[in-house]
Every structure is written in structure tokens, then in C-alpha cells.
Amino acid sequence: MSIAEIQQAEGRGTPALGRFLRKRSVVGRFLRKRSGVAGLIMLVVPLVAGLCAPLLVQIEGQDPSTLHTDLLDPDGGRPLGAFGGVSADHWLGVVPVTGVDLFAQIVYGIRSSLFIAFGASILSIAFAAVLGTAMGYFGGWLNAVAGRVIDFMFGFPGLMFVIAIMAIVPPEMPRGLVLVLVLAFFGWVTPARIIGAQAGAINARAFVEAARATGAPPWQIIRREMLPHLFGLVVVLFAMSLPGNVSVVAGLSFLGVGLRGDVPDLGKLLSDSLPWIYSGADVWYMLFPGAVVFLIVFGATLAGDALRDVLDVRTEDAA
Amino acid sequence: MIVYIARRMVTAVFMLLAIAFVTIALFFGASKDPARAMCGKPCPPETRAKVSAYMQTDQSAVWQYTEFVKGLFVGRTYGEGAQQVHCDAPCFGYSFPNRSDVTTLIAERLPVTLSLAFGAAVLCLVVGIGLGALSAIRKGGIVDRFSTGFAMFGLSVPTFLVGLLVLQVFGFMLNALPYSGFVSFSESPTDWAWHLIGPWMVLSFILAAGYIRVTRTQLLNELSADHLVAMTARGASTRQVNRHAVRGVMVPVVAMFALDVTALLGGSVIAEKVFSLHGLGDLLLSGVNESDLSIVVGVTLFSAFLIIVGNLIADLLMPLLDPRIRRA
Amino acid sequence: MPDPVLQVEDLCVSFTSGGVTADVVRDLSVRLDGGRTLAVVGESGSGKTITGRAIMRLLPRGASARGRIVVAGREMLSADERELRRARGSDVAMVFQDSMSALSPYLDIGAHIAQAVRLHDPSVTRRAARARAVEMLDRVGIPEPAGAVRRFPHEFSGGMRQRAVIAMALVNRPALLIADEPTTALDVTVQAQILALLRELQREYGMAMLLISHDFGVVGRAADDVLVLYAGRQAEYGSLRDIFEQPAHPYTAGLRAATPRLDARLDTGGERTRLRAIPGAPTSLRDAGPGCAFAPRCGLADQVGERCVVEAPLPTVRPTSEGGGPHLAACHLDRLPALKEVAR
């Protein structure tokens, strides 16, 4: 038995979360990773901005729906002033043609995008964790069937299918909720396979065998022996799925099949900015929301990557 | 080996049939009535029923599924007499709004998407494997640090953002590249490539990241592997040893590429939108906007077909690259 | 006296990492004639594998060797890349511990052996090289060699794989074979077969063999002479008989006492003997002080006193039995007491 295994054995019997946090060095080691901290800041600042959107907009003295047509060039609808109309009143300028405050649009847009992305990630990773653990523990036919389903899911043309589904959503259904469900439906596949493989490997380890030999019931073995070892992996997979979902949400809106109506949305802002780039009239309309999407996605990736290093889990999919 | 090939092919066919069933059941079985969009306004119920019968959307999902599969092999006929429309095999459905069978629509758009995907695949493999190999050989060097950052960037940044950036920088600010349009390869290969460089850059930037990582890790593993030390001990030169190490890198690269066919198709939807190209993704979006479900289903299934064929090729290639897979 | 096949003089191997250089092998001298087997024995980390690698100039990154190594008349440490390539696999070949990882998973067995042939004689056709491979597999006792050349490493059992590795190493009739723990990964019964095969081929080809092992049982079955390494230094050198019957270094004696013997009952006149472990963990040269590296674990250091801690012992001549070669031991004690007292 290596020292690590002895430590792991001693750590058994404590609930997953407690054990996870008791690795007291986790937070410390994460904070020592410069890229991880930078990523966390890049993620948290827009996140907080999104959460406090009404407050921030109030501080700015604007709202996301008032049309400020007086700030637009009457000929062409381009915002007047430098940087797309940036001023003390309108921190990031105004949207061309409508003259809506861009800052308010962006912070409210962050809100809806992150809400959907978080929802989809939580759902898909939770499902993947349950399924993966069951696959690893029970093996046999469950593993075989789930493996088949996963293979089947890999054959789906993911984005195209999502676009197609979003196209037939009846207007009376809330599109945000549908987006969460659809993204979760496609998001569980790879994580479930990784967790399943990992759980299978743990299940074959000596200490699980030993627990089984002492007559521990399945639930206890899963909870006490397997979950503590899977917890880090699940956390990392969650962190890694988040940026993907943020960019898909934005991408769908960009393609015109995401959120509809007058809900502020980052991808929609970017999609609307396309003609303004083509004409070269207002670059700032794209740059501000683009930078925010970039910050969130890149930050989440950096943080997820650092977390993976710190928790020392392997997430390579043995495809 | 023959058993292996046969098994893979049978699996592929079954997967296609299953995906087709799910898709058709979902879109024709549980969605809004496509006949309503066709019959115009006002739409009395009897007209609607007639249109629905003509479009064959009044039948059960199972019936439509069998008709669809049959249509793939023998073609399909809608309506009777003067109103009769025939859709030749392989029939991916008929688009009534476009008065054209979906197969023709796909065939029109396919060259654009294939050009896009093909060039992006070549570029991302060259860049990904090249940078990955260089970073492994000079671990910790400038190339290594650069490509690690590059990979991180590519893995995280959304495709459409990169697209917008490339369009903005190369298309408008530098005026170096055309920002839209497509010239077919047979017309002028140079113009073809010239118009596609932008989208190629975008797609390969997104996809190369994975290959950089895989190549780097795998090559590092290989280079320290005992069998390469043993090869040196037999008197092989460093060059011969390195060449052999590449074998080991090819296996995960091919496995990864098979999965990336999906990403390539998805990415090209976005690239087509950014660069105003009229490929499959654009066709799909137009189908979505016009509520033309035949196109939506046809394009989705055709994409699934491409993905499964890609996977099948990879499955057949793998045992040639790694004899250990041959037994499975 | 004929020129030895292998001559090592004052070999030092050091690792440099983070600006710190540490020796892992120090002042090693070896002489090995054709047809003879020298066993290099020691615990893990004693530098035996590194010594084997140094002879072929296959040191890992960051390691460098000083001193002199001559294999079949060729200076290995000063040889250029071309000369090295010519020597490797032809003058000196190697058998590895783990036959699975020593073989490329992507090539069949025949390709491995044919590669070894053609690397050293490009004039041999592919077909002729494969024919040589079949011959060689037959020679090492692989059944149905004509079919076996087309099989892949993962399709062989461990013993068969090791035979294939031996075939690959010997196909060019090297003057020196370095066998690095050739039987460690194998079952006991297969171990004996592989050792017998190595001995047989050695006699047939008249080659010298450097047998690297941690197992005194293996050494007793195959070696003519034994070199005991401790922490990268020569602890004792002598003929197999001298090492087994009159060890002059407490470490050698300890290793002997820690090895189970089938003939134990005869040896002790029917008295039951207990296996003894050497207390403590192996030291590395890195953290060894100026004194004897073994002193912290030595049951006899007290008898000598401070000298063991401050002065490293040099190898000195010890009594030899009849017909044996030189017998050297690096210990401040002139004579060891009876075996049982050695280990504390």
C-alpha cells in the first residue's frame, strides 16, 4: 500500500463533500496557480455583474429597454460619439438603430446566458455522475447498455440537432428552459463516459473489494468508498462543461435560434452586430459583448484547467 | 479482421436507422403541423387536411419512418395525377416550399460545406500535429509555451467570436481577405482557396487545440517508452526512432478526428453564417426560418450520415494503425 | 591473457537536475571475458541498471558518464553517433526486464528481428531478414516459428515474449549481452527456462553476459562472477563461490541471509535457519556522507567504530578459494564473523 492509498483509506467513512474540503490544500494550491486565479476573476466579475444587473443598471441610471434615438446619427442609425457612443450616461455606448443602452443589455444578457449555462451544466453533470457511478459499480449489462446509448449519442450531429429542435419549440414554451434541457441532453454523454470509466477503475480497487468482503451494502460502498474518489472528477467536469455551454448558448442566439423576443442576450447582441461589422460602421457594438463572452468562456476554461491540475484528475476520454 | 469490419458496418447502419427514427419521430410526430405553414392564411380545416395528406404528414411516425427509409433506396412519390411529385432515390424528403427534393438542395450546398470542412481538417491537422510535435520535442521551449496558450485559447473561445474577429481583422481592417462568397474548385482552385482561407482559419483555430494537446502528450509518452529505448539499443538512429514514435501518435489522433467530424459540421454552420457562405448549415437555418421541416430533417440526417461514415472510416483505420485493436 | 570483451574503468555516472549534480555510480571498474557471466547485484537504486545503460550509452536525459568503457575494442564513451549505432545491437545487445514494453506494439515479432538484422547489414533483403527471424525464433525455442514471426507482442505469453526479445538481441551475435533483470517479470518455472536458455546460447556463441539482477537465487544459477553494488559503489567483487561461501562485505552477507535457499537444511546440518531482512532502507549516493554508505544499516559498524562514518572503504583483496579469480571487498573489517551475526 502506498502512502497515498493509506491516506485514502484513512479518509474513508467521511462524507464526500467533507473529505473534499478537508483536503485543505486544495484552495491554497488553487490560489497559488496564477492562471486559475486570473480565470476565476474573469469568470466571477461578469457573473456578479449579471447577478446584480438591476442594481448596476440603476447605478448607471439607465434601463435595458428605453430607446435613446437622440443619441443616434439620424442618417443610418449609427451611435454618435467615440467608441459607439460611450459617455458618463451610457458606459458602453448605445445600440445602433434602437439606441438602447448597451451596458444594460450586456449585464442583463450575462444574466440569462449564465442562468441557462449553469442550469444545463448542473443537470447534465448530475445525470452523468449518477449514471457513471452506476455504470462503474454495477458494470455488466447496465454498463453495456449505457455504453451503447453513449455510442449512439456520439453519432448525433450535436449542434445541428439542437438547432433543429430549437426550430420546432412551440411558442408557448419557455425557450430558456427548453435550451437548458436540450443542452443537458447533449451534455451528459462525454462526462458520463469519463466518470463511468473512472468509477469502474475504482470499483476494481482493493479497498472496494475489501468493503464488499465485509458485507457492506451497495449504497454504503458507493457512498463511502467510491464517491469520495469521484468527487474531484465531477467538480472538474462541471467546471469544464460550463464554458462550453456558455458559448453554445451564445452561438445559438447568434444563429437566431436561441432566446427570442426582447430578452437581452449576449449572442443576440453579437448576431445583431453582424451587419454593422460588414459595413464597418460600428465595431464597438460587437466588441463590447464579444469581450464579455470571451472573458466568461476563457475565464471558466482557465479556472477549470487549474482546478483539474490542483485536484489531479485525468479527464482524457479514452475513446 | 473481416468479422470486425462487418460488425462495424452493421453497427453503423443500425445507428443511422436509429438516429433517423428518433429524428423523424421527434419532428413529424411531436411538432407543429407543417401543413399549416403550407396551406396559407386563411386555412380552412378541410384544405389543411388535404395538404397534410398530400405532404404525407398526416400519417403516424412509424409509417413516415418506413417511407423515409424506403425513399432512401427507391425514391418516393407524393400526390397523384397532375399534382404528382417524384423524389428520386436517395430521397431525403421533399421540400414543398422550395419545390425541390431535399437531396438536390443538399447536393447544391454540399460542395461549400465539404470544401470548408476538408480545408479546415487539413489545416488543423497540420497545425495541431506540427505544433504538438514541436512542443513535445522541445518541451518547455518557446514553441511549447506558445502552443499551450494557443491550445487553451482555441479550446475555450466560441467559434463565432473567432469568426467575427477574423472577419473584422483580415476582412475589414487589413482588407487582406474576401469576407464572403464562394468560388467552386473547378472554376478556379486559387480563388476557391482564397475565398475559404478565412473560414478555414476560424475552424482550424478552434479544432487544432485538441490535436496540439493529444500529439504533445502522446509523443512525450512515446519518446520515453521502453520500446523506443530498445530500438536505439538495436542500433537505430534518432531519426528512425522518431519516425517510429509517430506511429503511436497517429492512433489517438485518428480517434479524435473521428469525433471531430461532428465539431467540423457544427462549426461550419457558424462559419457559414459569419462568412455568408451558402452551405449545409445555411440550408438548415433557412429551413428553420421557413419552418420547412423536410429540410431540417433531411439536413440533420445527412449530417448524421456524414458523422457515422467518418466514424466508420476511423474504426476501419484504427486496426491498421494499432494491431492491438485487431482482436476486438 | 586475451583482451576482455568488456572493460570498465573508473566509471562515474552523474545526474544533473536543477543545477545540482549527484553521482549515482562512482568509481566502478569491471572486466569481463568472452564466454563468462558477470552478475551485477544490488537493491533498487544501487545503480546496476544505470551501469548497464551506461555501457550502451543509453543514459536518460540529464545523466552523464565519465571514465572509460571498452566493448569489443571500441571506446564507448568517446564514440560518435555513427560508431555507437554500429556497436549497439551488433557488438553489444540488451535484454530488458519488461518484454511487453521493450517491444513495439505496432510491429510483429518478425519485423522486430528483421529490423535488428537490417539495421546492421542493409544488404540483407527484407525476405532474407524475415527468414533469419524464423531461424532465430526456432533457436530460442518458440514453437511454430514460421507462424510466430507474424504475430504481435500482445499475442504472446510473457515467457515467449522474453524468448523473442532474446532472439532479437542475439540475432547479430553480439560479443556482449546485457541482460537487465531478464527474468524478474516471469513466473518461477519460466524463469528457470529462460536462464537455462541464456546460458546455453552464451556457450554456443561464446559471448560475455552482464546479468543485472536483484535476486541472489537467479545469480546463483547463472553467474560465474558477482559484483555487488551498494549505493552506486562497488561493495564486493568475486567468483560466485567466494561471494556465496566467504562473503567479505557485511552487505553481501546480509543479502545472502535474506535469500531463501533450497539447500538450507543441508548447509546448516539440518538446523532450521530463519531468513533475515537487512534493517533500514537503501541509501543513495546522493545523501551519503563521506563515510561508508552502508554504515547506517551495518550490524558490524560498531565493531569498527568512527572510521566507518568518516572514511569510505576502498576495495581490498580478500582470500579466494581455489581456482577463483580476484576477490575484492570494500569494508574496513578484514574478516567477517560467522554469517548469522551479521544482521542485527
Question: Which among B233, B240, B321 has CB closest to C56?
Answer: B233
A61-65, B218-222, C21-25: which range is least confident on average?
Answer: A61-65
User: Using CA atoms, how far apart are residues C160 and C137, in angstroms rounded to an integer?
Assistant: 10
DSSP string, B178-225: --S----TTT-HHHHHHHHHHHHHHHHHHHHHHHHHHHHHHHHHHHT-
Which residue of chain A has the CA closest to B23? A161
| Mean pLDDT across A23-28 | 68
Question: Which among A155, A256, A290 has CB closest to B15?
Answer: A155
User: Using CA atoms, how far apart are residues B104 and B110, in angstroms rounded to an integer?
Assistant: 10
User: Using CA atoms, how far apart are residues B125 and B123, in angstroms rounded to an integer?
Assistant: 6
- CB pair distance less than 8 Å for A160 and B284: yes
Neighbouring chains of A at 3+ CB pairs within 8 Å?
B
Q: What cell does A194 get?
A: 469519463
- CB pair distance less than 8 Å for A154 and B262: yes
- Res C40: pLDDT: 93
- CB pair distance less than 8 Å for B235 and C87: yes
pLDDT band at B38 (very low <50, low <70, confident <90, very high): low
Residue C282, min C-alpha distance to chain B (Å)? 26
User: Using CA atoms, how far apart are residues B147 and A94, in angstroms rounded to an integer?
Assistant: 38
Residue A41, min C-alpha distance to chain B (Å)? 16
- Chain C partners within 8 Å of B235 (Cβ): 85-90, 116, 119-120
- Chain A partners within 8 Å of B32 (Cβ): 168, 170
Element (H, E) at C30: strand C20-32
User: Using CA atoms, how far apart are residues B25 and B37, in angstroms rounded to an integer?
Assistant: 19
DSSP secondary structure letter of residue B81: G
Residue B1, min C-alpha distance to chain C (Å)? 14
B219-223, B284-288, B289-293: which range is least confident on average?
Answer: B289-293
- Chain B partners within 8 Å of C58 (Cβ): 229, 232-233
- Cα–Cα distances (Å) from A69 to A65, A80, A287, in that order, read 12, 10, 21
Which residue of chain B has the CA closest to A299? B156
- Res C265: pLDDT: 44
DSSP secondary structure letter of residue C323: T
User: In this structure, what are the phi and psi dihedrals at residue B6, rounded to the nearest 5 degrees?
Assistant: -60, -45
| Mean pLDDT across C53-68 | 87
| Mean pLDDT across B288-316 | 86
For testing the chain A interface, which of B16, B21, B32, B156 should be mutated: the one with the most A CBs within 10 Å?
A: B156
Neighbouring chains of C at 3+ CB pairs within 8 Å?
B
A112 touching B, CB under 8 A? no
Domain ranges (residues) in chain B: 19-91, 104-325
Neighbouring chains of B at 3+ CB pairs within 8 Å?
A, C
Name every residue in C having a CB less than 8 A away from some CB of B.
56, 58, 81, 85-90, 93-94, 96, 98, 101-106, 108, 115-116, 119-120, 152, 154, 168
A150 touching B, CB under 8 A? no
Question: Which among B32, B160, B296 has CB closest to A170?
Answer: B32
- Chain C partners within 8 Å of B238 (Cβ): 81
- Res A128: pLDDT: 94
Which residue of chain B has the CA closest to C116? B234
Task: Tell me: pLDDT of A141 over 60.
Answer: yes
A68-82, A93-107, B227-241, C243-257: which range is least confident on average?
Answer: A68-82
- CB pair distance less than 8 Å for B244 and C104: yes
- Give the per-residue SS3 of chain A: CCHHHHHHHHHCCCCHHHHHHHCCHHHHHHHHCHHHHHHHHHHHHHHHHHHCHHHHHHHHCCCCCCCCHHHECCCCCCECCHHHCCCCCCCCCECCCCCCEHHHHHHHHHHHHHHHHHHHHHHHHHHHHHHHHHHHHHCHHHHHHHHHHHHHHHCCCHHHHHHHHHHHCCCCCCHHHHHHHHHHHHHCHHHHHHHHHHHHHHHCCHHHHHHHHCCCCHHHHHHHHHHHHHHHHHHHHHHHHHHHHHHHHHHHHHHCCCCCCCCCCHHHHHHHHHHHHHCCCCCHHHHHHHHHHHHHHHHHHHHHHHHHHHHCCCCCCCC
- CB pair distance less than 8 Å for A254 and B300: no
For testing the chain B interface, which of C106, C115, C149 should be mutated: the one with the most B CBs within 10 Å?
A: C106
- Res B170: pLDDT: 79
CB atoms within 10 A of CB A161: 23
- Chain A partners within 8 Å of B163 (Cβ): none
Spell B174-199 as b/e; 16+ CB within 10 A means b. Answer: eeebbbeebbebeeeeeebeebbbbb
Touch between A and C (at least 3 CB pairs under 8 Å): no
User: Using CA atoms, how far apart are residues B193 and B182, in angstroms rounded to an integer?
Assistant: 9
Q: What cell does A91 get?
A: 458606459
Q: What cell does A154 get?
A: 456520439
User: What domains are there in chain C, each with its CATH number?
Assistant: 6-223 (3.40.50.300), 230-341 (no CATH)
- Res B29: pLDDT: 62
Whether ipTM exceeds 0.85: no
Which residue of chain A has the CA closest to B266? A159
Say if residue A239 is exposed, middle or buried (CB neighbours under 10 Å; 0-12, 13-18, 19+).
buried
CA of residue C202 relative to chain centroid, distance:
15
| Mean pLDDT across C40-57 | 87
Task: Tell me: pLDDT of A10 over 70.
Answer: no
Element (H, E) at C210: strand C208-213
Question: Which among B270, B288, B291 has CB closest to A251?
Answer: B270
End-to-end alpha carbon distance in chain C:
43
- CATH topology classification for B104-325: MetI-like fold (1.10.3720)
- CB pair distance less than 8 Å for B235 and C85: yes
DSSP string, B255-300: HHHHHHHHHHHHHHHHHHHHTT--SHHHHHHHHHHTT-HHHHHHHH
Residue B243, min C-alpha distance to chain C (Å)? 13
Q: What cell does B150 get?
A: 494557443
User: Using CA atoms, how far apart are residues C190 and C162, in angstroms rounded to an integer?
Assistant: 10
- Chain B partners within 8 Å of A165 (Cβ): 26
- CB pair distance less than 8 Å for B270 and A255: yes
Closest among A252, A291, A268, A292 to A95, alpha carbons compared: A268
Question: Which among B225, B227, B323 has CB closest to C152?
Answer: B323
Q: What cell does B16 get?
A: 443511422
Task: Tell me: pLDDT of A253 over 90.
Answer: no
Which residue of chain C has the CA closest to B322? C106
Q: Reduced to 3 states, what is the DSSP secondary structure of residue B166?
A: helix
Question: Which among B230, B232, B322 has CB closest to C106?
Answer: B322
Q: What cell does A257 get?
A: 435560434
Average pLDDT, chain B: 82
> Omega of the bond prior to C315 within 30 degrees of 0, cis?
no
- Res A203: pLDDT: 85
- CB pair distance less than 8 Å for C119 and B236: yes
At C145-181, the pLDDT tens digits run 999 999 999 889 888 999 999 999 999 999 999 999 8
- CB pair distance less than 8 Å for B281 and A160: yes
pLDDT band at C135 (very low <50, low <70, confident <90, very high): very high
**Residues A98 and A67: beta-carbon distance below 8 Å:** yes
- CB pair distance less than 8 Å for B168 and A274: no
A292 touching B, CB under 8 A? no
A155 touching B, CB under 8 A? yes
Residue B6, min C-alpha distance to chain C (Å)? 23
**Residues B267 and B159: beta-carbon distance below 8 Å:** yes
- Res C286: pLDDT: 59
- Chain B partners within 8 Å of A243 (Cβ): 156
A25-34, A179-188, B53-62, B282-291: which range is least confident on average?
Answer: B53-62
User: Using CA atoms, how far apart are residues A180 and A203, in angstroms rounded to an integer?
Assistant: 32
- Res C166: pLDDT: 92
- Chain B partners within 8 Å of A305 (Cβ): 152
| Amino acid letter for position C262 | L
Single pTM value for the model: 0.77
